Each structure stands twice: as structure tokens, then as C-alpha cells.
Amino acid sequence: MNKFQEALKSGKFVVTAGLAPPRGVNLDPFRQRLDAIKDRVEAVVISDNRGAKLAMSSLAAGALARQQGSEVICTLNCRDRNRLALAADLLGAFALGLGNILLVSGDYLSFGDTPAAMPVFDLDSVQALKMARSLENGQNGGGQELDGAPQFCLGGVANPEAQPLTPQVMKSLKKIQAQADFLITLDVYDLQKLAAFAGQLGSSEVKLIAGVRLLGPGDLASQAGGNPPGNLIPQDLLAAFAGLEESQALELGRRRAVELIQELKAGKAAQGVYLRADCHPEMIPEVLAAAGL
């Protein structure tokens, strides 16, 4: 059992942070960021061509991160690989010591840098979870035997702020039915919604890890410039950021993320936090430190 799995099991507040693999083969910034956060988190969530934008393979980056002493959760999406490739990657992940896997359907290609590529979506995230569990039972997705079975800690994505919420709850319940160990949420803005969502998941053992996004000018610009995937930054927050200098905006974003993490930790809705700071990943350590983590 690795550090992340132990933390999940222990019932303590689980701290994770997101990091994108290098977009290229220069590993230095990635390695520096890993070193800066590894003692503050239970696992680093390594994204998989997030936003449909090219980055180094999540498994390769995850393996490098582990060699360097960081526990990781590797994301695998269903957009870029069919069920055969997904199963092969899962076996390979386990062999490399990457037992924590976040299975997602994947942001649609039109959001990214390769919009003309073929969208695969052979499996959806629920079916992918189920297939990964069948690997653990020593069978491929079609029921044929494997030579040696892997063991995973598997997660999915959920959105407590989706409108309407009930179809989203149904989907999350299916992920629980497929034996997901944890659900990482999209960016949380309203803790009441998070609590309401958690309440609808019933008596399941699944751990809810709440997504917190460190907002900065880059995030505001990306929303103003179009239609980014995921939850939009709410109007009242946009208003609070309006007219601020870059440094002031970063400070407000930092303060807000710290407060949100503290509230999450004090509350009961979520069993952990997933901090992402796509525009300023270098700020992750100071936000976690300020939040007392």
C-alpha cells in the first residue's frame, strides 16, 4: 500500500495537488515543482493531455516523479485510447509502481491544441473503472485470463456544481458501483453544493476529494477569452477580481484558495483536497503552507 492509499484508508484529510507533465522533454521545471511540493502532499495528480493539449505521457511523467520520491496519481483518459490501449497502459502503470489511477473521459478535443484528431471514447469513465477492476480479477475486459493481476487505487471525476445535479449524482453512483476508491471533484466554489452532493452519495466508502483552483489573472483571461472546459468562475468572484493589478489578483486568488482549503478541512463534506494552479504551479507550496498543510 502506498502513501496515498494509506492516507485514504486512515481517514485523515488527504492533500493532493495537480501537476501537468512537461510539454516537451525539458524535465527541469517539472522536477523542481515536484521537489517543492512532495513533502506537503499525499500524492501529485499527474494530468493526461489535460484540456486536450499535448504533454508528455502521464505514465512516463508519473514514473519519473516516483523515482524522484513523489507519490503520484496518474490520470488516464478515454479520449486518446481505446479499451485495448487503456488496459495495456493500466498493466504497464502497475508494473512501474503507479497504482493510483484517475480514470476520466477527457476534455473534448475541440478545447485543445489538436482539434483535428480522432476522438476515441471507446469506453466511458464508468466502463473504464469497471474494466480496470476486471484486470484486478485477473481478466481482461473480455473475460480472458491474465498472467498476474494488478491492484489499483482507482478514482473518477465528479462535479458537485453541475446543473442539473441529479444526472451527475447518477453518474457518480455508477462510479461507486464500479468500485471507485475516490472521486476528485471539478473546481469547487460553493461548499453548500459540495455538502449537498456528498449527502446524495449515500453510505458509500468512496472518498471525496474536493477540487480547489488557485485563480489568477491567467484563469480569468482564459474564461474571458472563450469557453474553457469545466466549471466557470462565478460572477461574484469575477467581480472581486475586476480591476485588480496582477500582483493584487494573485494575492486575492491565493487568499481565497487558502480559505477554501481551511474550510474544507474544517468541514465534513470532503475527505481531502486537490489543489490545482495551472497558471502558477510554482505557488502550490506556499498556498498549502498558508493553509497549514
Partner 1 sequence: MIIARRKPLQEIKDSLQDYQRALIVGCGTCVAVCLAGGEREVKLLVSQLEIASRLAGRPLTLGEATVERQCDREFLHELRHQVKNYDVLVSLACGVGIQFLSDLYPDKVVLPGVDTTFIGANEEPGYWTERCRMCGSCYLALTGAVCPITMCPKSLLNGPCAGTREGRCEVNQEKPCAWTLIYERLEASGRLDQIKDIVPPRDHRLAAHPATQIHEAYKRRFSAHE
151 torsion bin: left (phi>0), alpha (psi -120 to 50), beta (else): beta
- Closer of 62 and 160 to partner 1 (Cβ): 160
Could you say which residues in the range 230-289 bind partner 1, by CB under 8 A? 230-232
Please report which helix (H) or strand (E) contains residue 130, including its range: helix 125-136
Reading the block at residue 122, the C-alpha cell is: 471507446
Rounded Cα gap, residues 18 and 73, in angstroms: 9
Q: Tell me: does residue 210 bind partner 1 (CB under 8 A).
A: no
Q: What is the total residue count of the chain?
A: 293
Q: Among residues 41, 102, 157, 194, which is the contact residue for partner 1, using CB under 8 A? A: 157
Decide: is 126 part of the binding site for partner 1 (CB under 8 A): yes
Q: Which stretch binds partner 1 (CB under 8 A): 1-9, 24-32, 41-49, 169-177?
A: 169-177
> Least distance in Å: CB of 88 to partner 1?
16
Binder among 80, 89, 107, 181 for partner 1 (CB under 8 A): 107
Question: Which run of H or E residues covers position 183?
Answer: strand 182-187
Residue 123 interacts with partner 1 (CB under 8 A): yes or no: yes
- 164 cis-preceded (ω within 30 degrees of 0): yes
Please, what is the minimum distance in Å from the beta carbon of residue 164 to partner 1?
Answer: 6
| Contact call for residue 144 and partner 1 (CB under 8 A) | no
177 binds partner 1 (CB under 8 A): yes
Amino acid occupying residue 45 = V
Give the count of alpha carbons within 13 A of 30, CB side only. 25
Give the CA angle between residues 90, 63, 273 to the nearest 5°.
Answer: 85
Q: Which residues bind partner 1 (CB under 8 A)?
A: 79, 83, 105-108, 110, 119, 121-127, 130-131, 141, 157-159, 162-164, 166-168, 170-171, 173-174, 177-178, 186, 227, 229-232
